[in-house]
Amino acid sequence: MKKKIIVLGTGFAAFRFLKKIDISKYEVIVVSPRNHFLFTPLLPSTTVGTIEFRSIIEPIRNIDNITFYQSYCTEIDKANNKIICIDTDTGTRFELGFDYLVIAVGEVTNTFNVEGVGKYALFLKELSDARKIRTKVVECFENAYLPGISEEKRKQFLRFVVCGGGPTGVEFAAELNDFIEDDVKKKYPEISKDVEIILVESRNKLLATFDEKLSEYTMKVFQRQNINLLMNTYITSLDENKIFLSNGDTIDYGLLVWATGNTSTELVKESGFELNKQGKIITDSFFRVKNSQNIFAIGDCAGIENKNLPATAQVAQQQGVYLAKFFNDGLNQTNEFEFKSLGMLAYIGDSKALADTSQYKGTGFKTFILWRSAYLTKLVSLKNKVLVIFDWVKTFLFGRDISSF
């Protein structure tokens, strides 16, 4: 009988693992609350409709011959080699036994326990987050347009705050700015002058993981685009209307997107596995969880002991592929995992992008074309590629849709 692998998660690490695992050798069961893979690098583009939501997802059930259960795993019973799942929708509780467990549950947005974030800020991690942002952005414009609104209130509705100067925060600010330049100025001409985008970053630079020059270039481009940068500043708390800053100032805001990085899920926190300082499950170089024989962890939720890899899609993908090969080859001692960096890309608005690779460091429109081509290549299905190209053409020809529903 085939050995049974349970995979927790449907992100980059899990998806690549599932695409590569040899189902003639293993029975594979996937458990995740999300029934699709999401191509997160293009998620910021969906918040304003440059790309549509369904263009960057792929149902897990499209992978042949695996079993998928849409449910949360709430507990890992290491002693008995089983997991316990509770489906939040139906309340169904069930257990699944495994021979091997692959934990690839990723992380959740870190609120740093800042008061009000969970209640009033929007995140940008799942498609449902992007949809909330898209709805809220249009609502802000519609509200600001109402005749009964004071000037002060109107300006508040049109003050968009982004917390976090990493790739997610920067790309969202860039997309929002494109939306305002390309669409809002046409559709809401009377109020477009009152729009303000503010980016709050606790350090003194944006995109800190990028080359120094590219980081500086981004700050210059943002300043030219009238994105207000509040550097060396952080948010201490917020309520429904006001953001309180570390420098004592307050901001009356219409929308706050919180993109300050991630932290462990409850499952990982309470797993009983040894975690590193970042709260990631410690594994060896073959992704075997410390002090465990048949449990593996890959992607953002895992950290190889004494090795520090960035928590990116690229790393997660390569780990998924590596681990699948390791399984397919019978779990025999082999070469340790080695991350091959393909470099980093980021979109910074106005048809400009950054590339930071070993061969090429570039900016501007040419790099924007590279950015689009690279992600197009990386999309996981022909359908995704066709849809994303179509969306880009559609946005170019017809603009972004401001309908709200």
Q: Give residues in contact with a second copy (CB under 8 A).
A: 34-36, 49, 52-54, 57-59, 61-62, 68-71, 85, 87, 89-90, 92-94, 96, 126-128, 131, 138-139, 142-143, 145-149, 187-188, 382-383, 386-387, 390, 394, 397-398, 401-405
Q: Which ranges of 85-126 would DSSP assign to H, the alpha helix?
A: 117-120
Q: For the CB of residue 233, give the shortest distance to a second copy in the complex, in Å.
A: 29
SS3 content of the chain, % helix, strand, coil (to 5): 35, 25, 40
Q: Which is nearer to a second copy, 61 or 269 (CB)?
A: 61
Q: Which is nearer to a second copy, 127 or 245 (CB)?
A: 127
Q: For the CB of residue 11, give the shortest distance to a second copy in the complex, in Å.
A: 14
Q: Which is nearer to a second copy, 71 or 225 (CB)?
A: 71
Q: Which is nearer to a second copy, 194 or 284 (CB)?
A: 194
In terms of Cβ atoms closer than 10 Å to its own Cβ (0-12, 13-18, 19+), residue 147 is exposed
Q: Which is nearer to a second copy, 148 or 330 (CB)?
A: 148
> CA of 133: how far to CAs of 136, 137, 160, 179, 223, in Å?
5, 6, 11, 13, 23
Rounded CA gap, 347 and 44, in Å?
A: 9
Question: Which residues are CB-contacts of 64 (< 8 A; sequence separation ≥ 6)?
Answer: 23
Q: For the CB of residue 394, give the shortest distance to a second copy in the complex, in Å.
A: 7
Rounded CA gap, 171 and 167, in Å?
A: 6
The single-letter DSSP state of residue 289 is B
Q: For the CB of residue 267, give the shortest distance to a second copy in the complex, in Å.
A: 18
Rounded CA gap, 297 and 300, in Å?
A: 9
Q: Which is nearer to a second copy, 342 or 386 (CB)?
A: 386
What are the backbone dihedrals phi and psi of residue 401, each rounded to the nearest 5 degrees, phi first? -80, 125
What are the backbone dihedrals phi and psi of residue 55, each rounded to the nearest 5 degrees, phi first? -80, -15
Q: For the CB of residue 116, give the shortest distance to a second copy in the complex, in Å.
A: 19
Q: Which is nearer to a second copy, 136 or 288 (CB)?
A: 136
Is the CA virtual torsion 115, 121, 124, 128 positive or negative?
Answer: positive
Name the residue with tokens 């999309």: 379
Q: For the CB of residue 143, give the shortest distance to a second copy in the complex, in Å.
A: 5
The single-letter DSSP state of residue 236 is E
Q: Could you tell me which residues are beta bridge partners of residue 281? A: 275, 302
Q: For the CB of residue 405, give the shortest distance to a second copy in the complex, in Å.
A: 4
Q: Which is nearer to a second copy, 149 or 267 (CB)?
A: 149
Q: Which is nearer to a second copy, 208 or 386 (CB)?
A: 386
* Token pair recorded at residue 97: 């036994």
Q: For the CB of residue 401, give the shortest distance to a second copy in the complex, in Å.
A: 5
Nearest to 104 by CA among 167, 165, 21: 21
Q: Cβ(90)–Cβ(82) under 8 Å?
A: no
Q: For the CB of residue 369, give the shortest distance to a second copy in the complex, in Å.
A: 24
| Size (the chain), residues | 405
